[in-house]
Chains A and B, each alone.
Chain A
Amino acid sequence: MGWINKQRNILDFALNSLLRRKGKNSALFVVYTGIIFLVSSIIFSSESIKRESQILLENSPEVVVQRTIAGRHDLIPEQYIGQLKSIRGVQEVKGRLWGYYFEPGVQANYTFVVPDEFLYGPGYIVIGNGVSKTFLAGKGDILPFKTLDGSYTSLEVADILSPDSEIVSSDLILLSEYDFRKVTGMQKGFYTDMILKVRNTRELQAITDKIRRILPDTRPITRNEIMRTYEAIFDWRSGILLAVISGAAFAFIIFAWDKATGLSSEEKKEIGILKGIGWETSDVLFMKTWEGLIISLSAFFLGVFFAYIHIYFASAFLFMPVLKGWSVLYPEFRLVPFLDMFQITTIFFLTVAPYTVATIIPSWRAATIDPDSVMRL
C-alpha cells in the first residue's frame, strides 16, 4: 500500500512538472503523436489491403491457363480442355468468358463476366452497383450495348449485385454466354482463359510443368503467384510511403533524442534539489519514467486511434492514392477494420520503449551526481 501511495505522489509530481514545461512538452507530444499516426496508418492500410486481396484471391482457382501469342494474351481454343483434363491431378477444367467493355457515353470501362450458371438467360444482365449508378439504371431497365459489327443490342437489367462486395463487383456486368459472344464477337469454341481445379496443391508444380510441355503456347499462372505479385506490389508501395515519411521520422528521432537525453540545467537543478530534500535516486528515476511514459503512452494511444479512424472510417484519404495506384475507379471504398496485436506491439516497441529508455539514462546520470554540485551548476 505504501509503495502504491508513494508512486501516486511521484506520478502527481511528474504530471505537475510536465505542466510546468507546457510549451516544450506539448510540442513534443504533438510531433510524437503525428509520427505514430503516420507509421501506424501505413502499417494498417497496407496490411488490410493485403489481407483483403488475400481473402478475394482465396476463392480464385488454383491455376489459370492463358494462351499467349507473341507474348500477348490470346483466346484459348476449346480443344485444350480435353488436353488439360488428361493431366493427372487436375480435377476440373473450365473455360472462362470475360472481357472489358468500354462505354463511350460515360467514358467508363466495365467488366463483362459470364458466370458458371447465369440464372436469367439470354437478353438479361445483372449489374454491379457502380454500373447502376453511372447508367442510372435499376431493375427492369433496358441498356444498349454496342456489338462488334456496330449495331446495338438491348439487354434488360434483371438484378443489381449487393453493395457488400463493392471493390470486386462495382464495375461488373454479368451476362449469358450467348449475349457475351454477340457483343464481343468472340467466336464459338474459344474462351478468354481456362481455370483448373487441383485437389492436391502439392502437385501444382508438376502440373504446371506438364501444361508448359503439352501446350507450349500457354502460360499457367498459379494462385500463389498471383498472391505473391499482389503482396510485392503493396509492399513496394508502402515502402515508397515509408521512404517519404522517413525524413519526418528522423527529424522526430533527433528532436526526441535531444529533448530526452540533454537535460536542461534547470532540470538538473531540480533533480539536485529533490535529492537535497531527501529523494532517493530510485525515486528520481521513477519520476522520470512516469514522465516519459505519460508522454509516450498518450501519444501512442492517440496516434494509433487517429490512424484507425483515418484508415477505416475516413477511407485513408491522406495516402490512398499512392497505395492503390492509378487504376482505381472507386475512391470511396472502405477497408474492413481489423486489429492485429502483433502490429500494435510492433508499433509500441518501436516508439514507446526507446523513448522511455532514452529519458531514463540521462536522469539517472544526473540523479547519481552529488546534489550539491548539481545545484551549483
Chain B
Amino acid sequence: MRIWIITLVMLYIVTVPAVAGQKKPLTPAQKDKCPVCGMFVAKYPDFVAEIIFRDGSYAVFDGVKDMFKYYFNLQKYNPKKTHEEIDSLYGTDYYDLVLIDGRKAFYVIGSDVYGPMGRELILFRNYSDAREFMRDHKGNAILKFQDITPKTIEGLD
C-alpha cells in the first residue's frame, strides 16, 4: 500500500511539471498591479491577461498588449525568470469574458474596441468568432500566438 502511494506521489512530481499549460487561470487580487503599466488589474475584469510560472508565481495584466510587452522583455520585467519557466498564458475572450489559453487563441488587431491601455489585441477561442468580430469592429488582421512579434505590439502604441 505504502509503496503504491509513494510511487503515485513520485509519478505526480515527475510528470506534472513536464506538462506545460496546466495551471488553472486565477482571478487577480484587488492589490495586483500590472507590472508593465502599474495599474490595478482587478478594476478591468474584461481585459485581464496573465502569465503563470511553473513555481506558481504569476503576473497579471490589464490587457493582452501588456502581457506581450512583458513576455517579449522578460529580462527587464522579471530577470529571474526565463521563457521556459512560463507554464501558461491567459487572456480574456471577448465574447464570453472568460480566461482562455493565450497560446491557442486568435488575436484580432486594429479593431475599434479599446482596452484600458488603448489599442488592444482582442482574443477569441475560435477562428470564426475572431473573423466575425473583425468584420463587426473593423479589425485589420487575425493573428495566432506565434505570429505576434515585438513589432506587432509596437504598432499598437
Contacts and interface: CB of A to CB of B under 8 A. Distances in A.
B132 interface: yes
Main secondary structure of the interface of A (DSSP, over half): mixed
A206 B136 contact: yes
B132 A88 contact: yes
A202 B97 CA distance: 11
Interface in A61-119: 88-89, 91
Given A88-B129, A88-B132, A199 B95 contact: yes
Contacts of A199: 95-97
A5 interface: no
B95 A88 contact: yes
A203 interface: yes
A200 B136 contact: no
B91 to A, nearest CB: 14
Kindly list the 3 A-B residue pairs having the minimum CB-CB distance in the complex, ordered from nearest: A89-B95, A206-B136, A199-B97
Contact of B113 (A88, A91, A202, A210): A202
Nearest to B130: A88
A206 B137 contact: yes
A92 to B, nearest CB: 12
A170 B39 CA distance: 47
Interface residues of B, number: 11
B137 A200 contact: no
A91 B96 contact: yes
Contact of B46 (A91, A202, A206, A210): A202
23 contacts: A88-B95, A88-B129, A88-B132, A88-B133, A88-B136, A89-B94, A89-B95, A91-B96, A199-B95, A199-B96, A199-B97, A200-B46, A200-B94, A200-B95, A200-B96, A200-B97, A202-B46, A202-B113, A203-B94, A203-B95, A206-B136, A206-B137, A210-B136
Could you say which of A88, A91, A199, A203 has the most chain B C-beta atoms within 10 Å of its C-beta?
Answer: A88
Nearest to A199: B97
Contacts of B129: 88
Interface string B117-143: 000000000000100110011000000
Given A88-B133, A88-B136, A199-B97, 12 more contacts: A88-B95, A88-B129, A89-B94, A89-B95, A199-B95, A200-B46, A200-B94, A200-B95, A203-B94, A203-B95, A206-B136, A206-B137
B105 to A, nearest CB: 15
B127 to A, nearest CB: 12
Contacts of A91: 96
Contacts of B132: 88
Contacts of A203: 94-95
A89 B95 CA distance: 5
A202 B95 CA distance: 9
Contacts of A89: 94-95
A216 to B, nearest CB: 18
A93 to B, nearest CB: 14
A199 B133 CA distance: 15
A86 to B, nearest CB: 10
A88 B128 CA distance: 10
Nearest to A87: B132
A206 B136 CA distance: 7
Interface in A193-212: 199-200, 202-203, 206, 210
